[in-house]
Amino acid sequence: MAGRALRLVPAALCLVWLLAAATAARAHAILVASQPEENAELAGTEIDFRLEFNSRIDASRSSLQLARDGGQPEALALGQAGEPNLLVAKVRELGPGAYRLRWQVLSIDGHVSRGDLSFRVRTP
């Protein structure tokens, strides 16, 4: 009986490791939807940004930056999202061209996630 129990120890340890890894993976905030979407082509000079994550984020320690293709990123002022898993911002008088929106969020458990998305603005 003791030999059988010893053979189950590696399987039990593997199961514990897999459960711990799954919990850690869920801890990171993952972008699940965005406005604009990746590679979108937009018309107009006023753009509303809305980024939705799979978990709560600490918006006061999160950021959005916007850069014209090849240019330096500039911080955007965040708006009131109204939901704990959203980042929102608005930009007025955005000229035609290619842009990259960079985001960085702090999950409520302390993990930082970051990414970016590209889009184009065309002349209306």
CATH code (residue 52): 2.60.40.1220
- State how far the alpha carbon of 63 is from the alpha carbons of 10, 46, 75, 101, 106, in Å: 43, 19, 7, 10, 9
**To which residue do tokens 């035609």 refer?**
96
Least Cα distance to 55 among 97, 112, 95, 7 occurs for 112
pLDDT digits (tens, 9 = 90+) for 15-70: 444 444 444 445 689 999 999 999 999 998 899 999 999 999 999 999 999 999 88
Is the per-residue pLDDT at 9 higher than 70? no
When divided into structural domains, the chain yields a total of: 1
Does 7 map to a domain? no
Establish if 58 belongs to a structural domain: yes
